[in-house]
Structure 1
Amino acid sequence: MNLTAFPAALLALIGTVALAAASDISVMTTQQIMTARPTSGELAVAGRIYNPEAPVPPQCYTAIEGRYNPCYVCHQNNDDPTRPSFMQDGSLQQAYEFSEAGLTNHHRNLFLDRTDQVAAISDRDILAYIDHDNYSPLADRLNANGWTGWKPDLAGYADGTTAFDARGHARDGSGWVAFNYKPQPSTFWPTNGSTDDVLIRLPAAFRTLPDGSPSRDAYTANLALLELSFQDLDSVTLPAVDETALNDDIDGDGKLGTATTITRRATYLGAASEVPLHRMLYPLGTEFLHSVRYVGIDGDKITTARRMKELRYMIKTRALSLPELASRYGNEIQEKIDENLPRYIDLGDRGMDTGFGWTLLGFIEDADGALRPQTNEEQFFCRGCHSTLGANLDQTWAFPRKQRGAQGWGYIDYTTMRDLPNLGEAMGEIETYFTRVGGGDEFRSNTEILARWFNPDGTVNHAAMAGKTVYDLITPSRERALQLNKAYRVIVSQQSFVYGRDATVTPPHNVHERIDDATADTLPRDKRFAHDIRLSWD
């Protein structure tokens, strides 16, 4: 990408550098970039991709030492021909299988000691910083710079729970719906640096009656049908729906009344009654909104901060059939076997096409903390989790982990949520993760988790975990939360996201700087695990 081809709106929002500097960066070697550490914006203006394997996250370079396996939560094989994930990447649990470029860990931020920089930020300053709303001004900034892609359209989102009613529907009538889910191990656990939430919005036809009039009843029922399709259930509870308004006996009790249960059917309802219900596939036009936030602190309580680190948007732009998906996964598998570098389709202000029917668009903080569009390479990083992994479902993670039924509609809240097991497992998911990983993060570097939930000999303290909620298990102390927030603020001020986004104060020990095929540890077959990201809510 050259400077003249770089989108003007994005250029204005991320800032510019001197043309001479951009020219210098364009001819730098990868090692020179690692040393000079130009910012994400400087690399983008120079048209330079620093990390051609940006979709490979830093966690994939963990030192497994022949016995620790955090990789099972993402990498799985699938033998079910009707489950639309055909990646078959379970072998990545056992061995490092990278392209030549991927053998080098480009996430150099992991290896920096930020102790002095973190100490220079006062508690008062970081608390004021994370309580600031950097979401609300974003739409106006985008409009002012001629942005033609999606723009934030949810009022009051910075305030989290107050933007939604008790059933999760946005109070501003935008159609966004919040749902409660169990955070995926372990990057999105607050104890490892971030809080988050995820919202869904179905197309207008799913929110209206056949005559085009808006219908909360139709929307509620259609969202519940979507839940059924992902959970392989015959029925599920839902917030009360007036069957008379729908003229449909959705609970199958033989009469029209108030329904609090819906049974599985072949199609959706209302104006979407011609749209078939496909197993584990979202309808065309489905949107997701994901805010990644700082760790909020209210006294000694951990909350969702107002300030966003990132705002991520996804829309399903193409409905692919099972054969089409299988073909695309097959191509991806072959490309990985051939050690080809990952590719993407740049859609400009609209975002990035994943190749699997979805378009991704991301915003991230500038040096002053205002949200800006991500550069191509920053956005490319997100493709790793939302395209070719064996464990996700239709390229998503949160909705398949939604709390079951009516209770699961509302803003995320795991203060009373139990550590339930994944489907097919007996032990709680978090307890299982601790046991298989030997720590509370992929690098086994979260010392607070080790002190709270592990014995001195490194085994899990199951007795200490008994009866604890998800909140108890995955939230940090106030002091750790402050440190994590400060560490990430340093990364923001440096605009060094392409070198890694993990909020580390000191370098973790259990991570490879480079993978040596001849000496890298592998896992024995008995340390490889089957895993379903869905949960047993019964």
Structure 2
Amino acid sequence: MRTRLIWLSSIATALFSASCYAHESAAEYKHTNTLKALDFIKQNEIYNPESVIPPQCYTKTEGKHNPCMACHQSYPSTDKRPNIINDGDLQGDYQFSEAGMTNSWTNLFVDRSLKIKDIKDSFISEWVKEDNYHSFINDHENHPQIEAIKLDNLALPKKAFFENGLAKDGSHWVAFNYKPFPSTFWPTNGSTGDVMIRLDKSFRQLKGEDSLDVYFANLSLLEMSMKRLDNITVPNIDERKLQVDLNDDGKFSVITSMPKRSHYVGDAKVVPLTDMLYPKGTEFLHTVRYIGVDENGKPYNAERMKEVRYMKKHGFKNKRKVAISYHREAKEKEFEQLPRTVNLRKRGIDNGFSWTINGFIEDEKGRLRQQHYQELQSCNGCHKTIGTTIDQTFSFARKVEGVKGWGYINLKTQNDTPTLGQKQGEFLTYLQRVGGGDEFRQNKEMLQKWFNHDGSVKTAQVQALPNIYELIMPSRRRALDLNKAYFTIMKEQSYLFGRDATLGVATNVLEKVEDNMPPLEENFRYGFDIRLDWAQAENSKSLKE
């Protein structure tokens, strides 16, 4: 394959005909943009060989603004976690290859306020209410992963899941309530979403028969393993059915808490718990959605999905083999080799750490389609080698702890829980360290609501909020405009140029990194743990009933 890096500044200013958006029907919309990201795919040419560098990495830190700390971390050798990448030195340091020195995410520099001005509120409101997941399942009935990613009524979570998060359709997917990762995944910055987990069959069964007691016992053991907990609260689990004394009290009974064990239970009883590593067969289903707005003007997870993302741990590497993979990656970077991504075709990509990653995204008609190899490559920017992840994942380590965390995501039940090692709320701390409500410091609504004129955060107001929903949800006006902005990206099919639904031209982002760019000052580099201090949240009544 011929490879080249193409800097297309002209794409940043290519405009739609505004009149195209004035129609009530999406079918009447006529796409007029002639510069398409898909042309690179059709011509088998690589647009961005460093797509693993996400747009946020090009933020101007000005020596003091640090959104980098959420992803790039170093931990002491005594921590002994499998993730040994120790990339805290990348905070604000722009250590890119020559190809990466040019910012290829040109959608950041498009003024979408001009593109959306004639899209009617009534049109976009109806657009985001449409269920495109059901048709997606029907359209892809022959896809090799269709049985894995199929979940009835997923567009309407109240119909899809029981209160404990278990899918009603017998698919064994389990939704969990988690704190969104700052700040790309905050709804105020463009998207809502959810995550489901599923363990392999042996973790769900006892003597070949499905057992909820076995399943939630193993899910709870996994949570303890990933978070390094000694005990946890659990849904009512009947030890008599398992014939295992899970809470070590010398009798069989219905339990509501249990300590950590050396092995899983049920048909997976021969599988040992591995510190901060998922067992083989673990799956995640993640939907990225538009922002719905209800009749009261309140945002919610819309029915329409921007993306459906799927991960499966197809193999298992022990801690030593994981370390070898990290060392291999470090060596490739040391010799300035461009990143390599294994193409699994319809099944997606292999991240090199035993995870299969796949994704589906809207086509220009709003129907979910298979993402192309080039579009998927950027997934490895977050799900491969950054210091903050636990086994290359984010969300499960941020699950509301124990029994309260089993159920569909609900931001209204969470307050701003601190990260481990911190006393102050995580989101408040993020606002202070970043100097804005997003990595690019261009979310004007967040700046107006939570920042003083001198750039300091309105700390008392943030701390007084009843939940994080009130902090990170957009207003009705902003939600509609963000939906419109992404709609234009979808119509362009310009995902290779960036998926961030920004409303204006990014001014705090570098178009090109110069060799003499000043790094972050040392006193503006911070430690960060992706895990949260839910015990402290309980003690301070941060978690709402």
Shorter-chain TM-score range: over 0.9
Secondary structure (helix, strand or coil) at the match of 2:433 reads helix
Distance 2:462 2:189 in 1: 18
TM-score of the superposed pair, with normalisation by structure 1: 0.92
464, 468, 471: which one aligns with 2:469: 471
* 1:381 maps onto 2:357 in alignment: no
Distance 1:27 1:459 in 2: 45
Distance 2:526 2:475 in 1: 31
* TM superposition shift of 1:467: 2.4
Decide whether aligned partners of structure 1 residues 27 and 342 sit closer, same or farther in structure 2, where only a CA change above 3 A counts. Answer: closer
Distance 1:499 1:366 in 2: 15
Partner residue, 2:388: 391
Bigger drift between 522-531 and 78-87 goes to: 78-87
Partner residue, 1:121: 119
Decide whether aligned partners of structure 1 residues 114 and 259 sit closer, same or farther in structure 2, where only a CA change above 3 A counts. Answer: same
Distance 2:527 2:4 in 1: 43
Partner residue, 2:276: 280
* TM superposition shift of 1:263: 1.1
Partner residue, 1:526: 523
Partner residue, 2:80: 82
* 1:199 maps onto 2:196 in alignment: yes
Report the aligned-residue RMSD: 1.5
8 Å CA contact 1:251–1:260 kept in 2: the answer is no
* TM superposition shift of 1:33: 8.7
* 1:319 maps onto 2:313 in alignment: no
What are the Cα deviations for residues 333-382 of structure 1, in whole angstroms up to 9, with x where unaligned?
22222221110111111110000110100000000100000011111111
Distance 1:218 1:29 in 2: 51
* 1:296 maps onto 2:292 in alignment: yes
Partner residue, 1:68: 65
Distance 2:72 2:36 in 1: 31
* TM superposition shift of 1:34: 6.0
What are the Cα deviations for residues 11-54 of structure 1, in whole angstroms up to 9, with x where unaligned?
xxxxxxxxxxxxxxx89861369649743433222111100011
Percent identical: 48
What are the Cα deviations for residues 123-171 of structure 1, in whole angstroms up to 9, with x where unaligned?
100010000001111122123xx53344532111111233100110000
8 Å CA contact 1:310–1:371 kept in 2: the answer is yes
Bigger drift between 389-398 and 343-352 goes to: 343-352
333, 352, 355: which one aligns with 1:358: 355
What are the Cα deviations for residues 150-209 of structure 1, in whole angstroms up to 9, with x where unaligned?
453211111123310011000001010000000000000000000010000000001000
Decide whether aligned partners of structure 1 residues 28 and 432 sit closer, same or farther in structure 2, where only a CA change above 3 A counts. Answer: closer
* TM superposition shift of 1:82: 3.0
Moved over 4 A (4+): 26-29, 32-38
TM-score of the superposed pair, with normalisation by structure 2: 0.91
| Structure 2 residue ranges without an equivalent (≥5) | 15-33, 536-545
Provide the aligned length of Structure 1 versus Structure 2: 510
495, 501, 505: which one aligns with 2:499: 501
8 Å CA contact 2:131–2:155 kept in 1: the answer is yes
* 1:137 maps onto 2:96 in alignment: no
* TM superposition shift of 1:505: 1.7
* TM superposition shift of 1:93: 0.5
Decide whether aligned partners of structure 1 residues 386 and 34 sit closer, same or farther in structure 2, where only a CA change above 3 A counts. Answer: farther
* TM superposition shift of 1:301: 1.1
Distance 1:40 1:147 in 2: 24
8 Å CA contact 1:40–1:375 kept in 2: the answer is no
What are the Cα deviations for residues 278-301 of structure 1, in whole angstroms up to 9, with x where unaligned?
111101010000000011111221
8 Å CA contact 1:182–1:401 kept in 2: the answer is yes
Distance 1:240 1:31 in 2: 57
Decide whether aligned partners of structure 1 residues 423 and 28 sit closer, same or farther in structure 2, where only a CA change above 3 A counts. Answer: closer
One-letter code of the match for 1:339? Answer: E
What are the Cα deviations for residues 205-247 of structure 1, in whole angstroms up to 9, with x where unaligned?
01000x2011011001000000110121111001101111111
| Structure 1 residue ranges without an equivalent (≥5) | 2-25
Partner residue, 1:434: 431
Partner residue, 1:265: 261
Secondary structure (helix, strand or coil) at the match of 1:420 reads coil
One-letter code of the match for 1:325? Answer: V
Partner residue, 1:489: 487
Distance 1:254 1:471 in 2: 43
What are the Cα deviations for residues 245-292 of structure 1, in whole angstroms up to 9, with x where unaligned?
111111222211111111111100000000000111101010000000
Distance 1:149 1:224 in 2: 26
Distance 2:103 2:278 in 1: 34
One-letter code of the match for 1:89? Answer: D
Partner residue, 2:27: none
Secondary structure (helix, strand or coil) at the match of 2:277 reads coil
Distance 2:202 2:418 in 1: 35
